[in-house]
Chain A
Amino acid sequence: MLVAIAAVLGYPIVNLVELSLQQYGLFQLISHHGIYIGLANYSSIFGNSVFWHVLIRTVLFTAVNVGLTIGLGMLIALLLGRVSTWVKLMLTVALVLAWSTPPVVGVEIWQWMTNSQNGVLNYALTQLHIGNFFQHDWYTSTVSQYAMVTTLLVWGALPFVTITLYAALSQVPHELLEAAQLDGAGARRVFSAVTLPVIRPVLLILLSLSIIWDFGVFTQPFLLIGPSQQNPGNYLMSIYLYEEGYGQTNFGLGAAISIVMLLIVAVLSIFYVRAMVRMGDE
């Protein structure tokens, strides 16, 4: 049984490495035999400026999304501890509703709210005198496209982060908080000296999970920007992988991109694993 499960889980990885060393297109897909070409797939990825642009764009996108999600999540979690019970209940309901909205449904709602003809976003921004957004199309420039994707992703990711952080915050002993206050520490000092060390493990886990999710996100940017609007000038890593590997039926190249992507994510989450190990030693 366990050998079977290890095989089910491990086989795709072995298969992936093998594929990345092969020329594997439609013909090879039918004949089931790839042609070994060594590291040619990798050199064609690293030799192309598209990859480097995609990498920089994805890292920036991930940094902004993770920063906003964790930052806002922390603020709302702290807020949950300060509001009356009925407001807390309302907030919890809103968070659970946002959390349980299927990603594709979220995309549909965003398309409806941000459409240029009669989207509620353009109307609200114009009414609030932020500018004239009458028939403004948010999906013409890459930055504006990803601003919309970011609002959708942060909205969807906030509930999990907030509720987890709130649970962590409730683990902070009241005596410690009161003692710090009695010793004359301000709110900011109490947070950095008492609260933060207690919730650090949870914060690190959330950080690494968010990095992994945002770095590899596919459904929301692919659908919100639109399958036909994807081009090398606005790819994220996972969409680049999809278009080059699956779209162009160049599976060997796609496998090589997958491995590069998986290695980057592994490196990004290593600092978290190391931090966990170090804390275990103390």
Chain B
Amino acid sequence: MRRKRSARTGWNIVGIGVFLVMVFPVYWMIATAFKSDNQINSYTPTWFPTQLTLQHFRAALTPAFWSDVGNSLIVVLGTVVIALVLSFFAAAALARYRFGGRKLVIVLVIGIQMLPQTGLLIPLFVLLSRYHEVNKLSGLVLVYLTFALPFCVWTLRGFMIAIPEELEEAAMVDGASRLGAFVRILLPLIAPGLVATSVFTFITSWNEFLFAYTLLGTGHTYTITIWLAELTGGQRAIDWGAVMAASTMISIPVVVFFLLVQRRIAYGLTAGAVKG
């Protein structure tokens, strides 16, 4: 018994070591955001900041920050709303109807998810410039939909299959149309799935860098990730306090939403692949 307990203590010490390594970068970001410039710029780091200041947050909250947060919100919310509507009906079709080409659509949905997104940079750029959607937020929404739809359709289909079809049939016997049954019976029942997919879409679009950088790069409209990357991209001396304050603020919505659906995202990424 004693041996078992001492083994547990040993594992706990290893566990705390892993905890410190994993949490340190996030801690260091937040700690730096509140430190004074003297503490930030000295060679000897201040592990636990004592005189906290909000000056870096004030420095980071420039008009450009707010306008780029606005751009990001437009793109993200546009993507989420359109992806939800389209994927609800597509998933309903995949879960409830048998039709020719159904297999092909499923293969496409999984296949697109498996591809590296960089591989689609060139064709999407050429396609969008053909329709004059480069340097526009609407063009970026179209690109994000390409990536969000497969995941949303696949996840929602998984949720719908778990719901017995008899419920909708009962509604139709009571006089509802097929569409009415979808909207009145299926929609409320898969609400958790809708929350999970919209949060996932929110996070991936909010975090996206490559396509925002290339599609908006030549204009004056940026998203918040481009704004952040540009902070340390120049040749000027870097204001690390402001960079870390901005980083903290940009991470907050992601962390909050992430906590809501973390389990479901992990489940969706692996479970969908196992069950055909």
Contact = CB atoms under 8 A, between A and B. Distances in A.
Contacts of B251: 100-102, 105
Given A118-B42, A212-B114, A108 B244 contact: yes
A145 B107 CA distance: 38
A96 B23 CA distance: 9
B29 A258 contact: no
B23 to A, nearest CB: 4
Given A9-B149, A9-B150, A209 B269 contact: yes
Contact of A254 (B8, B18, B122): B122
Interface size class of B (residues with CB under 8 A): 35 or more
A107 B229 contact: yes
B66 interface: no
Contacts of A261: 116, 118-119
Interface in A70-86: 76, 79-80, 82-84
B57 interface: no
A271 interface: no
Contacts of A227: 233
A110 B28 CA distance: 10
Contact of A2 (B18, B23, B101, B125): B101
Given A9-B150, A101-B26, A238 B243 contact: no
A121 B228 CA distance: 22
A6 B104 contact: yes
B105 A5 contact: yes
Question: What DSSP secondary structure best describes chain B's contact surface?
Answer: helix
Interface residues of A, number: 90
Contacts of B23: 93-94, 97-98
Interface string B1-41: 00000011001101110110011011011001000000011
Nearest to B126: A251
Contacts, number: 250
B93 interface: yes
A238 B207 contact: no
Interface string B253-276: 011001100100010011001100
A8 B145 contact: yes
Interface in A207-247: 209, 212-213, 215-216, 218-219, 222-223, 226-227, 238, 241-242, 245-246
A51 to B, nearest CB: 15
B11 to A, nearest CB: 4
Interface string B143-171: 00110011001000000000000000000
A99 B266 CA distance: 11
Contacts of B145: 8
A79 B60 CA distance: 40
Given A87-B12, A113-B25, A104 B122 contact: no
B19 A102 contact: no
B120 A16 contact: yes
Contacts of A164: 266, 269-270
A23 interface: no
Interface stretch (A136-144, A155-163, A174-182, A189-197): A155-163
Interface string B82-119: 00001001100110000101001100110010111111
Contacts of B28: 109, 112-113, 120
Nearest to B26: A97
B61 interface: no
Contacts of B109: 9
Contacts of B203: 100
Contacts of B112: 9
A276 B145 CA distance: 29
B218 to A, nearest CB: 11
Nearest to A29: B129
B232 interface: yes
A202 B209 contact: no
Contacts of A40: none
Interface in A1-59: 1-2, 5-6, 8-13, 15-16, 19, 24, 29, 32
Contacts of A109: 25-26, 28-29, 244, 247
Nearest to A168: B270
Contacts of B266: 160, 163-164, 167
B119 to A, nearest CB: 4
A110 B259 CA distance: 23
A265 interface: yes
14 contacts: A2-B90, A16-B120, A32-B130, A87-B16, A97-B22, A101-B254, A102-B206, A104-B209, A159-B22, A201-B274, A227-B233, A238-B116, A238-B118, A251-B126
8 pairs of A and B residues whose beta carbons are closest in the complex: A216-B116, A100-B258, A238-B118, A94-B22, A94-B23, A83-B15, A254-B122, A16-B123
Given A5-B149, A94-B26, A120-B45, 15 more contacts: A9-B146, A24-B126, A79-B18, A87-B12, A108-B247, A164-B270, A202-B270, A205-B270, A209-B269, A216-B116, A219-B209, A241-B122, A245-B121, A258-B123, A265-B115
